[in-house]
């Protein structure tokens, strides 16, 4: 069951990346700048514990 959830999570990430590029968290994150964020998934993060929406 856990493996099925992991598979569906990867499928969702693939779908967001190719179908909904505007849905990346970084596009709306106030840390979306090299000096503010060093996470390797920037600028295409779809899940991020540090995400903070721009004011």
Residues that bind ligand SF4 (CB under 6 A): 25-26, 29, 31-32, 37, 39, 41-42, 45, 48, 50-51
Is the Cβ of residue 10 or residue 23 nearer to ligand SF4 in the bound state? 23
**Token pair for residue 29?**
């994150």
In whole angstroms, the minimum distance from the beta carbon of 41 to ligand SF4 comes to 5
In whole angstroms, the minimum distance from the beta carbon of 1 to ligand SF4 comes to 28
């Amino acid at each position: 069951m856990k493996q099925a959830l992991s598979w569906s999570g990867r499928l969702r990430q693939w779908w967001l990346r190719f179908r909904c590029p505007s849905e990346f968290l970084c596009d709306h994150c106030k840390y979306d700048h090299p000096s503010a964020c060093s996470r390797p998934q920037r600028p295409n993060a779809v899940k991020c514990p540090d995400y903070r929406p721009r004011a």
